[in-house]
Amino acid sequence: MMDTQRQFEHKIYGSPDYGYVEIIIPGGETLKVEAAAMATMDTNIVMKTKLGGGFKRFLSGESIFVNEFTAEHGPGTIGLAPSSPGDLKHVYLDGNQEIYLQNSAYLASGMEVNLDTKFQGLMRGFFSGEGLFLIKCSGVGDLYFNSYGGILQIDVTDGYIVDTGNIVGFTGGLSYQIRSVGGYKSLFLSGEGLVAQFSGSGTVWIQTKKVRPLVYWANPFRPSKG
């Protein structure tokens, strides 16, 4: 797994605030893209919509459809804009590693990258507040994912703790347990949420913003009836 190796030529703009990526698809090749992420494309690129994991992706909170963009009669450029304001990252999967993404983080990948879902377990998913399923990415090729806020890459060699709302993704060499920071009294009174305590060796990508505090901040400004 390397950031410097790549299958498609690409250029990322607007990071870390409003990530946007332009990807050159070679003639005859295809790029898988999350539904509604396409912003621009050359006229020789043709789109087909297919089921992308079916009911499993539906359970993960993602669209059950994935769009496939093929460059016909020569290379073509496509521009992708994630739905949330934030960073965008590229990783090349070399076939020896797996990456697990939160259910809103996947953006696009090559055709040889396999997308599946991993059940976190009822206790982990329910108490983390981040969904019961993760997106499992494996195989060979380019993988693009996005965040809410900037993305920081952290190499873990022993143990590390991350708030569940800040996790974007992590590599398959890591395991984790969901727990509270300072007991259940602190959970309800401190303003801090639940955390994932990682163990093992691998990489964690975290986002600098969390969606839930934004919702709490914006709630008083909502129009009230009557």
Each residue's pLDDT tens digit, 58-95: 554 555 678 999 999 999 999 999 988 999 999 999 99
What's 37's domain CATH number? 3.60.160.10
Tell me the pTM: 0.85
Instruction: Provide the residue range defining the domain that includes 76.
Output: 9-220
The count of domains in the chain is 1
The answer to the question of residue 2 being in a domain is no
The predicted pLDDT at position 125 comes to: 44
The answer to the question of residue 4 being in a domain is no
The answer to the question of residue 1 being in a domain is no
Cis peptide preceding 85, ω within 30 of 0: no
Please, which pLDDT band fits residue 54 given cuts at 50, 70 and 90?
A: very low
The answer to the question of residue 154 being in a domain is yes
Between CA 140 and CA 150, with CA 146 as vertex, the angle to 5 degrees is: 130
Rounded alpha-carbon distances, angstroms, from residue 44 to 15, 108, 123, 130:
28, 19, 48, 39
- Residue 120's SS3 state is coil
How does pLDDT run across 172-208, given as a tens digit for each residue?
999 998 887 765 555 444 445 688 899 999 999 999 9
* Residue range 128-136: mean pLDDT, rounded: 66
The first and second tokens of residue 218, run together, are 């914006």
Give the Cα separation of 128 and 111 in Å (integer).
Answer: 31
The answer to the question of residue 127 being in a domain is yes
